[in-house]
Structure 1
Amino acid sequence: MLKKLKFYFIGLVPGLLIVFFVLNQKGASCSYFPNDRVIAETLTKDFSYSDQFKKEMETNKISEKFLKDDIISKGKIDFDKSNAQKKPCPEYILNYPKDNPTYEIHYSKCKEKAEFIGLKKLK
């Protein structure tokens, strides 16, 4: 029995290391929390902006790169205010940063695109 366990671990440990390094190089993530799933799905969509959202971005000097790389990627979805069950396009409220939010973004996530509707500066 001890011999079988020894062979098992001899295969398991290198196998786990190989899988870890291969997935890590490809940028794969294994987060199954609702907030992370919604944000990851949002970032794969084509972005479209309402006229009001564009004006608010200009007023607050927010670039599209900052929006994607920081605000959305590091934001937190407020599921209490969001309408995640709305058909065909769920609507979400995203707060950035997670603690003491400065911005609140209202957007809908459809099958092909994410449409950003409103941007509010909270402070």
Structure 2
Amino acid sequence: MLKKLKFYIIGLVPGLLIVFVILNQKGASCSYFPNDRVTAETLTKDFTYTPTFKTEMELHKITEKFLKDSIISEGKVDFDKSNAQAKPCPEYLILYPKKNPHFEINYSKCRENAEFTTLKKLR
């Protein structure tokens, strides 16, 4: 029994290392949670903004880079207030930061683009 376990571990450890190296080189990520999937898919879309959203971005000094790198990447999708089943474009609400949110963003995620409609500062 001990001999079988030793052979198993000798094969398992190098196999795991090879898989992790290959996946890291390809930039693959394992995002199985709903929040991670919505965030990753949103970041692949072209961003469009309504005029009111652009005005609010300028008012709160939010750049597109900050929107992508911080608010969307590190924010929390509130699925209770979102309409993820809407056709043809699901609608989502993001709260940023996750704890004690300061911003609330509504957007719809279509096949080609993500259209940001409202931005509210909560405090």
Residue in 2 that maps onto 1:113: 113
* CA distance in 2: counterparts of 1:70 and 1:26, whole angstroms: 23
5+ residue gaps, structure 2, are: none
Distance 2:53 2:22 in 1: 39
RMSD: 1.2
Would you identify which runs of 4 or more consecutive aligned residues in structure 1 move more than 3 Å? 1-5
Q: Does 1:74 align with 2:74?
A: yes
What is the TM-score with the length of structure 1 in the denominator? Answer: 0.94
Q: List alignment gaps of at least 5 residues for structure 1.
A: none
Deviations 1:58-115 (CA, angstroms, capped at 9, x unpaired): 0000000000000000000011111111001000000000000000000000111111
Aligned to 2:33: 33
Show CA shifts across 1:38-66 (max 9, x none).
11110011111111111110000000000
In structure 2, how many angstroms separate the alpha carbons of the residues matched to 1:103 and 1:5? 53
Q: How many residues align?
A: 123
Instruction: Give, in whole Å, the separation in 2 of the partners of 1:24 and 1:120.
Output: 37
Residues in 1 aligned to 2:55 and 2:70: alpha-carbon distance in whole angstroms = 19
Q: Matches of 1:28 and 1:80 in 2, distance apart?
A: 29
The sequence identity of aligned pairs, in percent, is 77
Residue matched to 1:104 = 104
Measured in 2, the distance between the counterparts of 1:85 and 1:28 equals 27
User: What is the distance in 2 between the residues matched to 1:31 and 1:88?
Assistant: 24
- Distance in 1 between residues matched to 2:25 and 2:66, nearest whole Å: 24
TM-score between both structures, scaled by the size of structure 2:
0.94
> What letter is aligned with 1:107?
Y
Equivalent position of 1:13 in the other structure: 13
Distance 2:49 2:30 in 1: 29
Instruction: Provide the rounded CA distance (Å) in 2 between the counterparts of 1:95 and 1:55.
Output: 19
